[in-house]
Amino acid sequence: MSIRSGCALCDGDGGIAVHRGELLRVIRVEDADFPAFYRVVWNAHVPELTDLGRDERALLLDAVAIVEGVLRERLAPTKINLASLGNMVPHLHWHVIARFDWDSHFPEPIWGRRQREVLPAAADRLPLGLPQMDTLVRRALEAADR
Amino acid sequence: MSIRSGCALCDGDGGIAVHRGELLRVIRVEDADFPAFYRVVWNAHVPELTDLGRDERALLLDAVAIVEGVLRERLAPTKINLASLGNMVPHLHWHVIARFDWDSHFPEPIWGRRQREVLPAAADRLPLGLPQMDTLVRRALEAADR
């Protein structure tokens, strides 16, 4: 498997490890503004979606869809945001973020301008705790053998 | 097919029409900072990726990959950025954007903070004109019957 030393997603998990599969892993990003923020990371160091074959792309997108499904079912967010940017870390990874109409940046992208201060804190407004969410995400990925 | 009146992507193409397929279309976004900016739009009004079945998801992502492939081959961008947000227009669409290390916001997301002024204008720095890019994107989608 291709690994690049000095790449943050080759040298470490890149966040709280939720699931480790053979080809991909899922981590949770610690972000106070967006607590329900997961990343699906392709384990090998490739920069772009089209560096994968069609079957590999389908596997990756299945994992993205599984994470999205758990977020929708458990948190009923206003919207799911998906993105694969990698301008700073060109190692294929997908952001899967539950957005709420009350969150700090909605309806702006999380990289846009802050719209409001949020109190109580975002994590405290979710119907489930984050460790419980991690467990549900992990189980859904394991059930699908991803 | 589900259509929602008042939705910008149900009421019109949403940009310069590049390709119209039965299930999805591709438009080019007119953005002076990011001229090689396409959108793959699912024709029916559904908000999220997981509102599609697995085969539909694969079709959508094939189209995203085809557009990405043309951008990479013809423009050799520093990075491709993909995103499906829809906070303002919750109708499933994917941004496919060629990013360059000289562009106005790189390495920030296009929704982030401007990093520099770009002269000559971004479109004039591309090795191909945008109408020619549109034709190449259209042909690639037609060849794949998307």
Q: What is the ipTM of this complex?
A: 0.97
Determine the residue of chain A that is closest to B50 in CA distance. Answer: A65
Answer whether B79 sits within 8 Å of A86, measured CB to CB: yes
Q: How deeply is A7 buried, as exposed, middle or buried, from its count of CB atoms within 10 A (0-12, 13-18, 19+)? A: middle
| Shortest CA gap A109–chain B (Å) | 7
Residue of chain B with shortest Cα separation from A48: B80
Over residues B53-61, mean pLDDT: 96
- Asked if A103 contacts A118 with a C-beta cutoff of 8 angstroms, the reply is yes
CB-nearest to A48 from B47, B68, B83 is B68
Residue B84 vs residues A64, A125, B44, B93, B126: alpha-carbon distances, Å: 12, 24, 15, 6, 25
Query: B109 in contact with A at a CB cutoff of 8 Å?
Result: yes
B79-84 sheet: strands from edge to edge: A16-20, A24-28, A37-42, A93-99, A79-84, B79-84, B93-99, B37-42, B24-28, B16-20
In the three-class reduction of DSSP (H, G, I as helix; E, B as strand; rest coil), residue A25 is classed as: strand
CA distance, residue A17 to nearest chain B CA (Å): 23
How far is Cα A126 from Cα A120, in angstroms, rounded to an integer? 11
Q: Label residue B145 by pLDDT band (50, 70, 90).
A: confident
Which residues in A lie closer than 8 A to residue B57 (C-beta atoms)? 61, 65
Task: State the sign of the Cα–Cα–Cα–Cα dihedral B106, B107, B108, B109.
Answer: positive
User: Taking the alpha carbons of B129, B130, B131, B136 in that order, is the dihedral positive or negative?
Assistant: positive
Do A57 and A4 contact (CB within 8 A), yes or no? no
pLDDT at res. B74: 98
Taking the Cβ of residue A53 and every Cβ of chain B, the question of whether any pair is shorter than 8 Å is answered with no
pTM of the model: 0.97
Is a pLDDT exceeding 90 seen at residue A146?
no
* Partner-chain contact B85 A82, CB within 8 Å: yes
